[in-house]
Structure 1
Amino acid sequence: MGRSWTEMEGHQPAVMKLFSNSIKKERLAHAYLFEGGRGTGKSDAAYLLAKSFFCLESGVEPCETCRNCKRIESGNHPDVFVIRPDGQSIKKGQIQALQEEFKKTGVESKKKLYIIFHADQMTANAANSLLKFLEEPNPGTMAVIVTEQPQKLLNTIISRCQMLTFRPLAPSSIEKDLIKEGVSAHLAALLSNLTGNVAEALELSRNEEFAEARSIVIKLYEVLTHRRGHAFFYIHDKWMPFFKEKDQQELGLDLLLFIYRDVLSIQVGNNGQVLYQDLMDNIESHALQSTQAVVMNQIHAVLEAKKRLRSNVNAQVLMEQLVLTLQEG
């Protein structure tokens, strides 16, 4: 919670436009389905919608200061109900308890709103109970159903909701959010291209293992460009002991790929797109001493290594072949 519709516009303009018009014209639907990947702002939008629905002031943007906005922010408004999976699933009893609540008159007004997070985790019985609930909406009630996997919901549930798709966030948007949270500019640029998720990027920015991974990748790049004879030793001695699991190895390759992309960015005059700003001197030197064709081959080699890693090739053999190719250009 804590994001405004104005901020949301920078992340999800299509969603914001729809809600802005609907709130202004007082034509909100009785049921919405928010679908999209993790970290795309679905939860923020659900709580914002609840505040706009109950806010005691008029206007699109909730005031954040009236008693309704404050209680929704703190999670204790008597007419706003939130359902999350109980363990591994949302059970029929949770939906039935919700229905019982909705039979009562609203505590403070005729309005009631419920939000179901991870709706794809409903049991079959829970989904059928929800369907009956959606088929007979009470006046003044609103449902917000949130999921990362809409294909797992009943088509009959989807058809009774206005579906809004939350698109993956643009790297520039994630980068701004990270800098606001105190992440250094050079790290924010890298993380925003590594993940489409602000929460995940923030987590990585505070993760000592990620900092070490970045350092090991930079060192490999430096070995490849300045001490070629040591590359095999470095893979054996430093890279493999650190990048043990497949997802870690893939992260290592992604971080290496971004360095070669930075070299190409310098060569084509896009200095502002460089992600490793703290390596600028090394990257500029490499860009001057190499050709675009060679750097393109190096980028292709890392992409090919990523592809082969997914097909269960031995990771050490793969890395040895990769450094050989990268050194040859």
Structure 2
Amino acid sequence: MNFQSIPGQERAKRLLQNSLKADKLSHAYIFAGPLGSGRKEMARAFVAALFCSRNRDEACGECLECRKLAHGNHPDLIWVEPDGASIKIDQIRELQQQFAYRSSTSGTKVYILNEAERLTVQAANSLLKFLEEPQTPIIGILITDNGQALLPTIQSRSQWVQFYPIPPEQMKKKLLDEGHAPELVHVAVRLAAGLEAARSLIQINWFAETRNVMIQLMKDLAGKQPFLVTVQTKVMKSEVAEHLDTLFDMIMLWYKDLIHVCYGSKSSIVYIDQEDLLSRLAFTRDVSIWVECMERAAEARKRLRSNANTQLVLEQFLIDVK
């Protein structure tokens, strides 16, 4: 893994590579940003460049240090994942014990805390002492989608590296080049913040099924078919029922496509295989109605989060927009 293999996040790359070139590294970093934006990949690339025995700001991938990292057995790197619902104080104590000795070869040891926002209060306080009084040359990387959830004292003693959602067009090109189905790619890149997250969506069966069900519901609404039957048979009795939040996300994209068609921007539509249907439907209502339908879909999605009856939320939404 190296920096060049990571799509987007150019600002984060520059910051880290410049630090490596100047040999001015922080003792702790917070990699903050949405899931799928490349935080883990960037952490691996940063550590690889740091340990590489040939290059200063980019891993060569060939030296002994790079090969040890690639095989997951480098003694100077420790990953810490949540144990159940949280990262516990015993995990931080074990980390401190493992890092009580000097690095084997690279001169610096690195620990990476994934989902660092899940540190317990006790673990966070123990980590803070570790940050302030390291016994050996150590760099810590805290990966989180909510950096504000970390202790203010940890935030102030770490260098922030902010990650942003990768532009859909950039992800789309990469996924299409990999040979994924275009009709799934166009939707996935609009719903995921990063390449890995989009790729994962495409490869999950329920994602394609949810897309097909959503299109069937929109066809039912446009015609005279009993859409409540579709809800009963194809939503509530399938995996789609467990992913109604995604169903509503897809519905909002559908109405956005109708708006694009109304304004002559067919090149922007997401449901590329439904262009003929979208073109027929777009002008059957005023564009303000499509905007209102989008808003109602967003409201319905919010109601799902408040533990409302999922079937009733979906059926009421469909009745409203009908």
For residues 237-271 of structure 1, the C-alpha deviation after alignment (integer angstroms, 9 at most, x for no partner) is: 544444774x5333222222222211211221222
Structure 2 CA distance, aligned partners of 1:131 and 1:306? 39
Larger C-alpha radius of gyration, 1 or 2? Answer: 1
Question: 5+ residue gaps in structure 1?
Answer: none
Give the counterpart of 1:179 among 176, 181, 188: 176
Give the counterpart of 1:158 among 155, 158, 174: 155
Give the counterpart of 2:200 among 198, 203, 213: 203
User: What is the 5 A alignment of 1:86-235?
Assistant: 86-138=83-135, 140-225=137-222, 227-228=223-224, 230-235=226-231
Give the counterpart of 1:60 among 57, 60, 68: 57
Question: Larger deviation: 26-35 or 298-307?
Answer: 298-307
Give the aligned residue type for 1:132: K
TM-score where L is the length of structure 2: 0.86
- Report the CA distance between 1:187 and its aligned residue: 1.0
Identity of aligned residues (%): 32
For residues 143-181 of structure 1, the C-alpha deviation after alignment (integer angstroms, 9 at most, x for no partner) is: 222233334433222222112222233333433443344
- Report the CA distance between 1:282 and its aligned residue: 1.1
Change (3 A) 1:142 1:264: same
Give the aligned residue type for 1:228: K
Secondary structure of 1:196's match? coil
Change (3 A) 1:92 1:298: closer
Give the aligned residue type for 2:281: H
Moved over 6 A (4+): none
Question: 5+ residue gaps in structure 2?
Answer: none
* Number of corresponding residues: 322
TM-score where L is the length of structure 1: 0.84
Give the aligned residue type for 1:231: F
Is contact 1:262-1:275 (8 Å) kept? yes
Give the aligned residue type for 2:263: V
Q: Is 2:321 aligned against 1:326?
A: yes
Give the root-mean-square deviation of aligned CA atoms: 2.8
Change (3 A) 1:207 1:99: closer
2:4 — aligned with what?
A: 6
Give the aligned residue type for 1:292: V
2:280 — aligned with what?
A: 285
- Report the CA distance between 1:220 and its aligned residue: 1.8
2:251 — aligned with what?
A: 256
Is contact 1:174-1:196 (8 Å) kept? no
Question: Larger deviation: 142-151 or 35-44?
Answer: 142-151
Secondary structure of 2:99's match? helix
Change (3 A) 1:255 1:54: same
- Report the CA distance between 1:77 and its aligned residue: 1.4
For residues 59-87 of structure 1, the C-alpha deviation after alignment (integer angstroms, 9 at most, x for no partner) is: 42211111111111221112222223344
2:20 — aligned with what?
A: 23
Is contact 1:22-1:28 (8 Å) kept? yes
Is contact 1:243-1:249 (8 Å) kept? no
- Report the CA distance between 1:233 and its aligned residue: 4.1
Give the aligned residue type for 2:160: M
Is contact 2:206-2:239 (8 Å) kept? no
